[in-house]
Amino acid sequence: MPKSRQASDNASRLDGHDRVNRSKRGLTCANCRVRKTRCDGTQPGCKTCEVYGVECRYEKAPPMSQILAMAKRLQETEQTITELRIALHEAREANVAQHTLSIERQIPNTPSADTSFDSASYIEASSSTQVAPESETAPEQILLSDLSLDENGKLCYYGPTSAVHAPPPAESTNVNDSYSSMSDARSLLTSAALESKIWEEFALGNAAIQTDIPRQMISKLLQIHWTWIAPMFNWVYRPAFMRDMAINGPCYSPFLVVVMCAHAAHFDDHQISELLISRARLLLGTEILNPSSIPTAQGLLQLSARELAWGSISQAWLYSGMAFRMVSDLGLHHSTTKIATLGHLTAEDLEIRRRLFWSCYFWDKAISLFLGRMPILQELPFDRCPELLDDSAENDLWAPYYGDQLSPDKAPPGEYPPMKSHLVSSFQNLDLTTGENSRLCI
């Protein structure tokens, strides 16, 4: 054999051997992935798991049949979403046309010079005269004048004495037809909530990739959150959160997911909770360098609750204070339909802002009462009752969820039948004060 050919064969064999070694070194077991430690990829067990004395597990790559099935399911889901959006658009147009026709029938006959006015302006004018007298609308106009748009196009709140106060842009006359009536907004949010359930499977996979937490663990911990934490505090609006988790939308951030999992892991595995909370604190250092956002405020609130449960009073108070400041910076206490045109907000945006503010208001009163300190949120919205437009979760079934294993002191799932959750009505009727005005609407 010629020397050149023999050298070429030896080089190819060495190259193949290097590729095999690199592929082996690239393997990371599930335990090392959770710990964020280097894994040597040794099979059947790596050295790190051998030191810790735990079972070493490698997650197998999904088969091609499963990948093709998921691709087909994704295509079907996109087609279903497109059909739903078309149906919603047609139904909304029909509703607006019918509403406009009924108004035109109620308008008395006037000269031709007066018949060319805009019907939308008539609706707004007539509704404003029927809702409240002039003396009551003036404070709301003053509050709305304190809202401005920052350089990123987001709403910010600056009081009348602020040196950086800038007037908001002039309101557009082309108001989104989603706000033409309360019934339109309710139907739109209900449909979006049903549509968001399609995204949950994709959302878990995307979150697992971005946070480096196993998909099964995220699914279990989020289920614990929705079962035990969300009904009480209602910090996160589930439909928007799950949808944006799948598409990396504005209502989602890796920091928020890690905090939610860390808080929920407190009820399941304290060791995992400690690992996740350490990672959440690292992510928080990056989040606070960015402009205020709703996911960051939601994560800070849950960090506050988690630290309070662990007895870290100072940390809980500081985290909650940061969240309350961020809520004020975003102007969430001005979450009325009148601000929709300022930042091109949708009905869902207003619902998220309204829910988050009243959740903050509740947590502010709860932690202040527990610590015997003065509340921070003193400025209330113009509409002082937390009326939620999306009540689709009111009739959802609720049942206890304990994770994979049941402790001896926990009842089996069959002994507690699923019942209506009453999430919306329970949140709206939280008792915060004593006396006649014991409701949240004070």
Residues 6-17 have pLDDT tens digits of 555 555 554 554
Read off the pLDDT of residues 148-174 as tens digits, 9 standing for 90 and up. Answer: 555 555 666 666 655 565 555 544 444
Which of the residue ranges 65-74, 139-148, 169-178, 188-197 has the most confident prediction, judged by mean pLDDT?
Answer: 65-74
Torsion sign, CA atoms 390, 298, 153, 128:
positive
The per-residue pLDDT for 318 is: 96
The per-residue pLDDT for 201 is: 84
Mean local confidence (pLDDT), 144-148: 54
CA triple 270-361-263, angle to 5 deg: 10
Cα of first residue to Cα of last residue in the chain, in angstroms, is: 94
How many CA atoms, within 13 angstroms, populate the side-chain half-sphere of residue 142?
10
Higher pLDDT, 10 or 67: 67
Q: How far apart are CA 32 and CA 14, in angstroms?
A: 29
Spatial contact of 46 and 40, defined as CB atoms under 8 Å apart: yes
Q: Is 159 left (phi over 0), alpha (psi -120 to 50) or beta?
A: beta
Sorting pLDDT into bands at 50, 70 and 90, what band is 217?
very high
55 pLDDT above the threshold of 80: yes
| 201 backbone dihedrals φ, ψ, rounded to 5° | -65, -40
CA triple 397-399-403, angle to 5 deg: 130
The per-residue pLDDT for 416 is: 76
Which of the residue ranges 13-22, 47-56, 179-188 has the most confident prediction, judged by mean pLDDT?
Answer: 47-56
DSSP count for the chain of H helices, then E strands:
17, 4
Sorting pLDDT into bands at 50, 70 and 90, what band is 437?
very low
Mean of the per-residue pLDDT values of the chain = 75
Which of the residue ranges 34-43, 150-159, 272-281, 384-393 has the most confident prediction, judged by mean pLDDT?
Answer: 272-281
The percent of residues in the chain predicted with pLDDT above 90, rounded, is 29
Structural tokens at position 85: 């959006």
Biggest CA-to-CA distance, the chain? 106
193 pLDDT above the threshold of 70: no
324 pLDDT above the threshold of 90: yes
Task: Quickly tell me which residue has 């329970």 as its tokens.
Answer: 426
Structural tokens at position 48: 């790190």
413 pLDDT above the threshold of 60: no
Dihedral of the CA atoms 279, 367, 354, 330 (nearest 10)?
-60
Spatial contact of 43 and 59, defined as CB atoms under 8 Å apart: no
Out of 105-114, 119-128, 239-248, least confident range? 119-128
Mean local confidence (pLDDT), 288-296: 93
What is the per-residue DSSP string for 104-137? HHHSPP--GGGTTS-HHHHHHHHHHHHH--HHHH
Task: Quickly tell me which residue has 């009111």 as its tokens.
Answer: 394
Q: How far apart are CA 405 and CA 157, in angstroms?
A: 47
* Three-state SS at 157: strand
Structural tokens at position 395: 């009739």
Mean local confidence (pLDDT), 253-270: 93
- Beta strands at 155-157 and 419-420: parallel, antiparallel or unpaired: unpaired
CA triple 196-33-67, angle to 5 deg: 50
Higher pLDDT, 171 or 209: 209
Mean local confidence (pLDDT), 336-341: 54
Domain ranges (residues) in the chain = 3-52, 63-103, 193-428
Nearest Cα residue to 364 out of 422, 438, 440: 440
Out of 3-17, 216-230, 405-419, 421-435, least confident range? 3-17
Helix axes 64-106, 182-196, angle to 10 degrees: 170
425 pLDDT above the threshold of 50: yes
The per-residue pLDDT for 66 is: 84
Higher pLDDT, 180 or 367: 367
Which of the residue ranges 79-83, 198-202, 292-296, 384-388 has the most confident prediction, judged by mean pLDDT?
Answer: 292-296
126 pLDDT above the threshold of 60: no
Beta-bridge partners for 7: none
